[in-house]
Chain A
Amino acid sequence: MNNIIEVNGLSVLHGDLRALHDVSMNIESGKIVSIIGANGAGKSTLLNTIMGIHRPAGGTVRFEGGDITGWRTSKIASKGIAMTPEGSRVFADMSVMENLWMGAYLPDAKKARAAQLEKVYGMFPVLKEKSSQLASFLSGGQRQMLSIARAIMMNPKVIICDEISLGLAPVIIQDIYVKVRELNAAGITFLLVEQEIKRSLRHSDYSYVMVKGRIVMEGKSSELSHEAVSDAYFGINQFA
């Protein structure tokens, strides 16, 4: 087994509040891994800690075997981890193309910029149509696509997506997951955070269920039953 990201015994404090308790997880290279949990379960905190936005009180994060705990976010990103944060966070005062260029900021990505741009325009034709428009004129779904496309421009090994389906129409969500599959088939590892159980299990290879800052269940997505995850999710089993 070849783990690209290994999280070991991670604890995070938000003031006096413990947001993560001793969280451990392995992201196998080339897979789609999902984290399922309700609001406030600590999913975003976990992602943000992996990316160095939050500092852990204890535990380690390893990427390709090397310790990256406590590194500056830009340095972690430069190793090959992209993240699309909750709410897309496109640069509203820049054009769609400038947003994509921002994804290709790092030297290696910049060299491949033209080719990558062709690739993402092929995947998301609507972005090509609107390439010279300001990102602030895009719809919610288009912004989400731009956010993913910008992450692809980084030419990353791993893409971490924080609730990419939040607030989007089912047709668009379906479309976005098709793209995730395509990218995964091309070798990019995904770590997805979702609130919806069914969607998470259907679109991932392996799943973790988080409740109140802990991982309460994990397993191959095909082997986890909707009911069992649901019980854990709503905290009506022994872990509650």
Chain B
Amino acid sequence: MLETLPQAVVTGVLLGGLYAVIGIGMSLIFGIMKLTNIAHGDIMILGTFLTMRIAQSLTGNPVIALLLTIVIMLVFAFAIQNFLINKVIAKGAEPALLVTFGLSIIISNALFLVFGANTRTIPSQLVTTNLIRTAHVSVSMMYAVNFIVAVAVIAVLSLVMNKTSLGRAIRAASSDTVMSELLGINTKHMYVYAMMLTVVTAAIAGMLVGMTFPFYPTTGTQYLIIAFGVVVIGGMGSLPGTLVGGIILGLAQLVGANFIGPTYQQLTGFLVLLVILAIRPQGLLSKAVRK
């Protein structure tokens, strides 16, 4: 067990990066609209399927497929935010949450209808290539790429939110809606932009997930739970917290699996989540003060 621990730690941290990029969109939407987006996992898997199909039929290159997927997803994000969520968001968090719950069901069933129930993958050489291979630790290129892309996505998103006019306006809209409107900021448009940023991260996460693991139309829910874990551990709405949350969840799962057995991977992950919830319910890096 101890001799396999270094491998578990390395894989756990790298997997944590992937978890972070899965959770970051959820964190963003929660931070800005106080909305728990139940459809987040399904939106991501929608991206995975689109990238797979475009890669299969138009181009062999998954990165070009991802760019096309992002374009489609941006239109989709505009539509669901502008025509669905914005219509109910003023009525409180619950009606909007129910709308995303409905979306979740619609997306997974639509995927089932179009693609069938078969398990799929996005083929990639990264999975079979090793970056490092020693007696104790080996790191697959895929996991390394997952982690690097995750850190890059979080860094870019943090820059956009903190250093650009759009990011500041989105933050202003989330901290004081009426004051932002008085400054000429249409807060509903800011919500649309936030959702568009979110689906870009979801499409990227979706491609990585599709290359790393097998997927099928109802996989979204599984990743929704992971996103939940990441966001709760890291702190709702905190972008750097998302990375910390992802790494802790990834480590908890793989180190747990190392000592107790792979069957208990989910269990140890969520035990750690429960412990953190008990000690620091606002999440590790949340700015929110406990009241």
Contact = CB atoms under 8 A, between A and B. Distances in A.
Contacts of B92: none
B186 interface: yes
B261 interface: no
Interface in B127-152: none
Contact of A91 (B175, B182, B184): B175
Contact of B178 (A53, A98, A150): A53
A61 to B, nearest CB: 15
B176 A73 contact: no
A142 B171 CA distance: 22
B184 A74 contact: yes
Contacts of A74: 180-187
A73 B178 contact: yes
B168 A94 contact: yes
A78 interface: yes
Contacts of B187: 74
B37 to A, nearest CB: 23
A91 B172 contact: yes
Interface string B175-198: 110111111111100000000000
A102 B172 contact: yes
B181 A85 contact: no
Given A74-B186, A89-B176, A110 B181 contact: no
A77 B165 contact: no
Contacts of A154: 183-184
Contact of B186 (A72, A98, A102, A103): A72
B181 A105 contact: no
Which of A92, A102, A110 lies at the interface centre, i.e. has the most chain B CB atoms within 10 A of its CB? A102
B87 interface: no
B66 to A, nearest CB: 32
A73 B181 contact: yes
Contacts of B180: 74, 102
A83 interface: yes
B182 A51 contact: yes
Contacts of A72: 181, 186
A101 B165 contact: yes
B247 to A, nearest CB: 25
Contacts of A73: 178, 181-182
A77 B181 contact: yes
A85 B184 contact: no
A117 B169 CA distance: 18
A102 B178 contact: no
Is chain B's interface secondary structure helix, strand, loop, or mixed overall? Answer: helix
B182 to A, nearest CB: 5
Interface string B44-55: 000000000000
A85 B179 contact: yes
Q: Which of B171, B172, B175, B183 neighbours the largest number of chain A CB atoms within 10 Å of its CB? A: B183
Interface string A33-77: 000000000000000000111000000000000000000111101
A4 B165 CA distance: 31
Interface in A76-126: 77-78, 82-83, 85, 89, 91-94, 98, 101-103, 105-106, 109-110
B179 to A, nearest CB: 4
Interface string B155-175: 000000000010011011001
A53 B179 CA distance: 10
B183 A77 contact: yes
B175 A150 contact: no
A10 to B, nearest CB: 19
A105 B171 contact: no
A93 B168 contact: no
Contacts of A85: 178-179, 182
A82 B168 CA distance: 19
Contacts of A75: 186
Given A53-B178, A93-B287, A101-B165, A106 B172 contact: no
Q: Which 9 A-B pairs have the closest CB atoms?
A: A73-B181, A77-B184, A106-B184, A89-B179, A74-B186, A78-B184, A74-B181, A83-B182, A74-B184
Given A78-B184, A83-B182, 18 more contacts: A53-B181, A74-B183, A77-B183, A77-B184, A85-B178, A89-B178, A92-B175, A93-B171, A94-B171, A98-B168, A102-B183, A102-B185, A103-B183, A105-B169, A105-B185, A109-B184, A150-B183, A154-B183
Interface of B: 165, 168-169, 171-172, 175-176, 178-187, 287
